[in-house]
């Protein structure tokens, strides 16, 4: 059935891929983005489609639209971007959630919140299940993002309990793929750009800290499955790849895929940088029948092709 779907943050990395899939499925898609970290280039191939429209708007201000479903992805997600203006980052998560939930309340729309594994902070439980409450510094340099997303989750659950809003909350773990910003400061884009330029690959600490990496196509599958699930499945639910890699292993793989001559360059570990990050996705597997299928090497090859084209412009 054709639906009118709002995607906030729709010109960003994840949002643009989600818009692609929704447009391909025949839905009427309204993409909202203030273009702070998003880019029109990510959605330019959609601008001529009759079932796609773009609205430049900041979600910290109310939206007045008629929609059936909402995917709330609006928020800078890389440390470089969200620490640039931490107050605005916090407002985007909190005021943005209030405005989007108000819209859902008025229209009766089902609303999906793109939360984050950062709600777990520097975890003392490994891998992280949804039942874990986290280990977060509330006053650190990353807190504007971590605590903003935690507060947004609170708002979603309170609107659900108090106003019976149909909500879906997903906690996204490290995701990568084409349309990542080359200067977003995230590890996959950092390593690929440095490798393609034959620059030293920056390793923070000793490189033993771990992350799990989910290719964007797999993640979008999870978004759509979560939104399509029965209303009683509210979440939160982890979406990510459970296979864990150290930063040294990732650097080695990127050097191999790019054919780079880059060496490794070591730097001090940033404040509050988590030592481990790995999702427990048993809930998503059981309730959604979802699990990622794209291996890291395959996903990196597709991502490297994208960055080669971007850096050659």
| pLDDT band at residue 232 under the 50/70/90 scheme | very high
Q: Which CATH number fits domain 4-177+213-242+278-294: 3.40.50.720, 3.40.50.1950, 3.40.50.620, 3.40.605.10?
A: 3.40.50.720
What mean pLDDT is reported for the chain? 94
* pLDDT tens-digit readout, 66-108: 999 999 999 988 788 888 889 999 999 999 999 999 999 999 9
Residue with the bigger pLDDT between 235 and 271: it is 235
Is 145 designated active site?
A: yes
What does the domain layout of the chain look like in residue ranges? Answer: 4-177+213-242+278-294
pLDDT at residue 271 greater than cutoff 80: no
The Cα–Cα gap between 121 and 133 comes to 9
Residue with the bigger pLDDT between 186 and 281: it is 281
Q: What is the structure's pLDDT at 272?
A: 63
* pLDDT tens-digit readout, 114-155: 999 999 998 899 899 999 999 999 999 999 999 999 999 999
pLDDT at residue 206 greater than cutoff 70: yes
- Mean pLDDT, residues 52-57 taken together: 98
Contact 41, 180 (CB under 8 A): no
Neighbours of 245 (CB within 10 A): 18
Q: Which two tokens stand for residue 214?
A: 């989910």
Point out the catalytic residue in the list 82, 145, 159, 176. 145
pLDDT at residue 222 greater than cutoff 70: yes
- Mean pLDDT, residues 246-258 taken together: 96
| pLDDT band at residue 230 under the 50/70/90 scheme | very high
| pLDDT band at residue 270 under the 50/70/90 scheme | confident
């Amino acid at each position: 059935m054709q639906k009118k779907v709002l995607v906030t943050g729709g010109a960003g990395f994840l949002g643009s891929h989600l818009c692609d899939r929704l447009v391909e499925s025949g839905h009427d898609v309204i993409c909202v983005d203030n273009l702070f970290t998003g880019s029109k280039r990510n959605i330019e191939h959609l601008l001529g489609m009759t079932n796609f429209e773009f609205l430049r708007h900041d979600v910290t201000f109310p939206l007045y639209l008629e929609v059936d479903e909402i995917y709330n992805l609006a928020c800078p997600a890389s440390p470089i971007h969200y620490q640039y203006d931490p107050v605005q980052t916090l407002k985007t998560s909190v005021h943005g959630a209030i405005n989007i939930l108000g819209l859902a309340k008025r229209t009766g729309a089902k609303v999906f919140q793109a939360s984050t594994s950062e709600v777990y902070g520097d975890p003392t439980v490994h891998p992280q299940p949804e039942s874990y409450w986290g280990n977060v510094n509330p006053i650190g340099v990353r807190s504007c993002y971590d605590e903003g997303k935690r507060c947004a989750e609170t708002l979603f659950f309170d609107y659900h309990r108090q106003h019976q809003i149909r909500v879906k909350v997903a906690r996204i773990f490290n995701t990568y793929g084409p349309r990542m910003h080359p200067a977003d400061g995230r590890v996959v884009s950092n390593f690929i750009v440095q490798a393609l330029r034959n620059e030293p690959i920056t390793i923070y600490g000793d490189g033993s800290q771990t992350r799990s990496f989910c290719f964007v196509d797999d993640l979008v599958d999870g978004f759509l499955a979560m939104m399509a699930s029965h209303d009683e499945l509210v979440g939160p639910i982890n979406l990510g790849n459970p296979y864990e890699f150290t930063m040294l292993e990732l650097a080695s793989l990127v050097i191999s895929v790019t054919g780079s001559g880059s060496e490794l360059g070591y730097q001090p570990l940033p404040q509050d940088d988590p030592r481990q990050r790995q999702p427990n996705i048993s809930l998503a597997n059981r309730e959604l029948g979802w699990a990622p299928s794209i291996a890291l090497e395959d996903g990196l090859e597709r991502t490297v092709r994208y960055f080669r084209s971007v850096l050659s412009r």
